[in-house]
Amino acid sequence: MTKRRRWILIVLGAAAVLFGVAFTQWQAAIKRNRSIPDDPFHIAGNLYYVGSTGVTSFLLTGPEGHVLIDGGFPETAPLILGSIAKLGFNITDVKVLLNTHAHSDHAGGLRELQEASGAELWVSEGDADVMAAGGRGDRALGPLGTLGYYLGGLKFAAPRIDHRFKDGETIRVGPIELTAHVTAGHTRGCTSWSFPVRDGDRELLAVEICSLTLFPLVKLVEPEAYPGIRSDFERSYAALRSLPADIFLASHGDMFSMQRKRGERAGAKDPVDPFIDRAGYLSFIDRAEARFREALAKQQ
């Protein structure tokens, strides 16, 4: 090897190590910020917030058992268990576990929650393989995803998958009824959930948006990050707009201004009112689509 080539290799190696360290620290910072315990609270009817400050988890309670959507990071699972207990509910009454998408910040705690509850986990067909592999093989994340997985930040303990569902399927536990809307793009099986919530004499439709975030370096033109990612995103905007959402929820609190709305409850006529936000719901979809169009135009 020539002296010059040796130096090139040394510089490249050092750059790779530095990048690895920076990436790991970035992941750890995200995790810290999003794993702070948050006080659980009642949103409306049988719907409760049991997540951390950054990643959401929702509990739907019913006489024949409860449903829990999302497990946060692996580190978030004990917080969720604590929040459910604090509200006076029993984790063993959770009969069904659902997930928005198979990323470590929403699926990481599912295995621990599954072990604690004995609940059955339903996963979309599109996300089931990545879920079963503990986060490996997620092509929708682009090159940063593969790197992130092997650096450990995106890896999680794979839960047992009890059922796989398709777009439009309904999952029931007693009177609780949730419809799965596969709004793919962020992941192949990214699932938004809609469910009616009866609050006093009104029936409200709650919609939890999975995520519409497009990661950097994800290819939307051929060869696409995964075949069909572009049309998946396109379909997701239309599918979400078509839902008559009253209560707007999402997989991260900042996506639907959760802390602001929570603060506004004290001064509201009805504490549910701040969460009824069709305008915020539509503008979130509009903004996500605008960012997608911009990225797509650059790539074309």
Q: Is 31 in the site for Zn ion (CB under 5 A)?
A: no
Residue type, 297: A
Distance between CA atoms of residues 230 and 128, nearest Å: 20
To Zn ion, the closest distance from the beta carbon of 106 in angstroms equals 6
Binding status of residue 34 toward Zn ion by CB under 5 A: no
The least CB distance from residue 37 to Zn ion, in Å, is: 21
Judged by CB under 5 A, the chain residues 193 through 232 that form the site for Zn ion are 211
Q: Does 103 bind Zn ion (CB under 5 A)?
A: yes
Least Cβ distance, residue 209 to Zn ion (angstroms): 12
To which residue do tokens 């009454």 refer? Answer: 93
| Number of residues engaging Zn ion in binding (CB under 5 A) | 2
Quote the CA–CA distance of 160 and 279 in Å, as a whole number.
38
For 186, list phi and psi in degrees, rounded to 5. -65, -45
Rounded Cα gap, residues 103 and 144, in angstroms = 13
In the complex with Zn ion, the residue whose CB is nearer, 91 or 210, is 210
| 24, containing H or E segment | helix 3-34
Beta carbon of residue 80, minimum distance to Zn ion (angstroms, whole number): 17
Question: To the nearest whole angstrom, how small is the minimum distance from the Cβ of residue 226 to Zn ion?
Answer: 15
The amino acid at residue 164 is: R
Count of other CB atoms within 10 angstroms of residue 75: 16
Binding site for Zn ion (CB under 5 A): 103, 211
